[in-house]
Structure 1
Amino acid sequence: MITVHHLNHSRSQRVLWLLEELGLPYEIKRYERDRKTMLAPPELRAVHPLGKSPVITDGELTLAESGAIIQYLGDRYGAGRLIEAPGTPTRLRINYWLHYAEGSAMPLLLLKLVFRRVQTAPAPFFVRPVAKGIAGKVQHDFVDPQIALHLAYMEGELARAEWFGGAPFSVADIAMSFPLEVAAARGGLDERYPHLQAFLQKIHARPAYRRAIERGGDYNLLGG
């Protein structure tokens, strides 16, 4: 039995969704973020030394990193349904988006979150204007333009293909769901990007996605 060590409001929601798409039995062990810091609880370190989610256990295997988990589950249990065989052009495209989601898209969105928190965090009155000024300038001069560049790139890709891996729907789309949901919540993904908005509407309508939300529980990316 696969166990998902599931943290609320996190990337592990994608793992639940993939398991629902594959029709695999699994169990959930739940962890709650600290309400002040929004960090994972220390109990997760008993599962993996970094104390982060997602982590799965599958028999003797313990595996972290959502991209690695998605690829592992697709390769082992997908039976060609959601991931192509290695070496094919479609598989290379899928691999690209699996890495892009965490290697390119998410770091920029996390930077935006960090600098937004710097702007709103309590600080001594003589420090606050300096901290807010620096954070605002970094966002304006670097973070926001870079996010816009990547959103335009992803919009262009979906203008040429229905799904990120081409066709049909694949694990690439599951991997890309989280950065795009974060971007829609607080990263500027709006009506300027109709193909990305349509992508989110399509994945949210999938029965497996809805089942994963029901099992995973609270999933709010607007906080923080």
Structure 2
Amino acid sequence: MIELHHLNDSRSQRIIWMLEELQLEYDIKCYQRDTHTSLAPKSLTRVHPLGKAPILTDDEITLAESGAIIDYLAQRYGTALLPKANTAAWWNYVYWLHYAEGSLMPPLWMGHVLAKVQQAPMPFFVRPIAKKLVAGINDAFLSQQLHTHLNFVADHLACHEWFLGDNLSAVDIQMSFPLEAAMYNPKLADSYPRINAYVAQLQARPAYLQALAKGGAYVYGPKVMA
């Protein structure tokens, strides 16, 4: 029996979506972030030494890392979400599967960390220094890197309905989290309408909405219009 260890507002939300797209039976064990540190609870280390979600168990197999989990589920249960092996589409699948966390997430995560630094309690005389340091990192490196990646993704999606063409694939599920996180920023959403439309498209899928119902509150989910 498949069991997913799921942390709120995390990468594991896309694994629930994957399971729903494949119409698999599974159990879900939900964990909540610490309200002060935003970190996962230490109880997750009893499932995997790193104590990070997602973690999936399937009989004797225990897997961490979203890309590994998505690839495992697709190859074992959902070949309809995979291109034919050893074709050009297959290697595009391999590329985007690794690109999501290997290239796109690092500048997004660094931006998140720097925002936390600016918001952290500190002596009043230190705050201007911290703000200047964060602004310098953003101007010199981070902003440029993020826009380079988002332009790259937007150009690709300008020619494709989904990442591998006309149909949803496992790669779209893997790419969903970093793109949802990026489009959570209103300025980025306005700057990249094709990516924003793509995110809205995947968030409208019935299986995605079923996953939201099972996973609980998700900050990067569909925007509610006032």
* Counterpart for residue 159 of structure 1: 158
Structure 2 portions without partners, runs of 5+: 222-226
Contact 1:119 1:136 in 2 (8 A): no
Q: Which amino acid aligns with 1:77?
A: Y
Asked if the contact 1:94/1:172 (under 8 Å) is kept, the reply is yes
Match of 2:102 in 1: 103
- 1:36 partner amino acid: H
Q: Is 2:203 the partner of 1:204?
A: yes
How many residue pairs get aligned? The number is 221
The residue number in structure 1 matching 2:51 is 51
String of CA shifts for 1:41-60, please: whole Å, max 9, x gaps. Answer: 00000000000000000001
Instruction: Give the 3 Å change call, closer, same or farther, for CA 156–72 of structure 1 in structure 2.
Output: same
Counterpart amino acid of residue 100 in structure 2: A
| Deviation at residue 141 of structure 1 after TM alignment | 2.1
| Partners of 2:39 and 2:130 in 1: CA distance | 22
Secondary structure of 2:212 counterpart: helix
- The Cα of 1:188 is off from its aligned counterpart by 4.2
Task: Give the SS at the match of 1:115.
Answer: helix
> Is 1:190 matched with 2:205?
no
Report what 1:3 is aligned to.
Answer: 3
The SS at the match of 1:27 is: strand
> Which range moved further: 145-154 or 5-14?
145-154
Task: Indicate conservation of the 8 Å contact 1:9/1:221, yes or no.
Answer: yes
Using the TM superposition, give the Cα deviation of residue 187 of structure 1 relative to its aligned residue in structure 2, in angstroms: 7.8
How many angstroms apart in 2 are the aligned matches of 1:186 and 1:103?
A: 21
1:40 counterpart letter in structure 2: A
Q: Percent identity?
A: 51
Preserved CA contact (<8 Å) 1:119 1:132: yes
Which residue in the other structure is 1:216 paired with? Answer: 215
Report what 1:83 is aligned to. Answer: 82
User: The residue matched to 1:164 in structure 2 has which SS?
Assistant: coil
- CA displacement at 1:221 relative to structure 2: 3.7
Partner of 2:41: 41
Partner-residue secondary structure (3-state), 1:214: helix
Q: Which residue of 2 aligns with 1:118?
A: 117
One-letter code of the match for 2:72? Y
> Corresponding residue for 2:224?
none
Deviations 1:8-43 (A, max 9, x none): 000000000000000000010111000111100000
Match of 1:17, as an amino acid? W
Q: CA deviation at 1:140?
A: 2.3
Deviation at 1:167, TM superposition (A): 2.9
Query: Would you identify which runs of 4 or more consecutive aligned residues in structure 1 move more than 3 Å?
Result: none
Q: CA RMSD in A?
A: 1.4
Flag structure 1 segments of 5+ consecutive residues without an equivalent. Answer: none
- The alignment's TM-score, normalised by the length of structure 1, stands at 0.95
**Cα distance in structure 2, aligned partners of 1:97 and 1:203:** 16
